[in-house]
Structure 1
Amino acid sequence: MIMPRGSGQLLLPAKPWFIGLSLLLALLADMLPLGPQPAMPRLLAVVLVFWNVHQPRRIGVGWAFLLGLLIDVHQGAVLGQHALAYSGLAFLGVSLHRRLLWFGVWEQTAQVLPLFFAAHLLQFLVRMAFGGMAPSPWLLLAPVFEALLWPMATALLLAPQRRAPDRDEHRPL
């Protein structure tokens, strides 16, 4: 089998409990009451796209829709605003996962940036369609921050899969 250029080693399969824990922690981080900060990146969106790219059979559009509904209910937003945006992100992540994994982390960052812009644009359109207030222009920075979180998310979420399958003191990793 030909290995993608961006990966230097074969990875162990991701544990389902680790995927669920990372999504739960990202959901809880997005639910923190930090006040109105328009340029705040959505950690749940980053983690969701990451798992859609790396584990598309385990995390799909249904999970994205459910997590988006939870965010909608928590924030008191238009019901379905985040659900629609996260579902679109998940669909794009799953549809691009084969192509995206051939690139290195920084090339992936450049390719997920339009996905995050599209999700924020979709949220903006839904909010404006239902008579919401126009957001601050600082909202345009949120997708950039989310894309810049991609390398850190890759390093953190792939770390458990990079361990040696059989631990041995003579094998470095």
Structure 2
Amino acid sequence: MNQPHYILLPASPLFIFSSLLIAFLMNFLPWGNMVFVPDFVALVLVFWSIHQPRKVGIGVAFVMGLLMDVHTASLLGENALAYTLLSYFAITIHRRVLWFTPMTQTLHVFPLFLLTQVIQSLIQLMVNGKFPGWLFFSESFVTAALWPVATWLLLAPQRRSVDRDDTRPI
């Protein structure tokens, strides 16, 4: 509690949209068969579902999930279901999570990312009978580890003051 608390500006809808678009495009990058690749869309969805639950909710998560289904050529609705549940549970805990530091918030959002991957693996197991392997779940560890960085980056535009004054501490 010794850290200063900033009065944040309202999040711009254009910034929220552009951050979701950039996260979607980062998932387009050709990572090859690398195992420890984070899910940037899930990360940004959880962030905005926690910080702006009235602007980014379950509907946005569903649309982003459908777009990811088309991108990954997976079963239509697999990512949509996972992202919808991810957003729902993030909105459910959003008031509690905001009380903690970003490092402690990581411990709260990690089970959400893990749940998303469990849902995706269960759907794959039901549809084609193949278990993706235990390294498949490493994505949730890496995504959760990026939470403090994402928090710092996505809150940066809201921390700036409307009129800059060197004598004002906030």
Q: Which TM-score applies when normalising by structure 1?
A: 0.91
Q: CA RMSD in A?
A: 1.9
The superposition leaves residues 100-143 of structure 1 with CA deviations (integer Å, 9 ceiling, x where unpaired) of: 10111111001101111100000000111101532132112111
**2:56 equivalent in structure 1:** 59
CA contact (8 A) 2:31 2:37 kept: no
Alpha-carbon distance between aligned partners in 2 of 1:6 and 1:147, rounded to the nearest angstrom: 23
Residue 89 of structure 2 is aligned to residue 88 of structure 1: no
Once the two structures are TM-superposed, the CA of residue 40 in structure 1 deviates from its matched residue by 1.3
Going from structure 1 to structure 2, the CA distance change for 1:102 and 1:169 (only over 3 Å counts) comes to closer
27-36 or 84-93, which deviates more: 27-36
Counterparts in 2 of 1:18-167, with a 5 A limit?
18-167=15-164
Alpha-carbon distance between aligned partners in 2 of 1:86 and 1:7, rounded to the nearest angstrom: 33
Alpha-carbon distance between aligned partners in 1 of 2:9 and 2:122, rounded to the nearest angstrom: 40
Alpha-carbon distance between aligned partners in 2 of 1:5 and 1:50, rounded to the nearest angstrom: 24
Alpha-carbon distance between aligned partners in 2 of 1:103 and 1:157, rounded to the nearest angstrom: 17
Task: Give the ranges of 4+ consecutive aligned residues of structure 1 lying more than 6 Å apart after TM superposition.
Answer: 4-7
Alpha-carbon distance between aligned partners in 2 of 1:28 and 1:7, rounded to the nearest angstrom: 34
Q: Report how many residues are paired.
A: 170
Alpha-carbon distance between aligned partners in 1 of 2:134 and 2:3, rounded to the nearest angstrom: 35
Once the two structures are TM-superposed, the CA of residue 169 in structure 1 deviates from its matched residue by 5.1
Alpha-carbon distance between aligned partners in 1 of 2:36 and 2:104, rounded to the nearest angstrom: 23
- 3-state SS, counterpart of residue 167 of structure 1: coil
- 3-state SS, counterpart of residue 130 of structure 1: helix
Percent sequence identity over aligned pairs: 46
- Structure 2 residue runs of 5 or longer lacking an equivalent are none
- Structure 1 residue runs of 5 or longer lacking an equivalent are none
CA contact (8 A) 1:5 1:104 kept: no
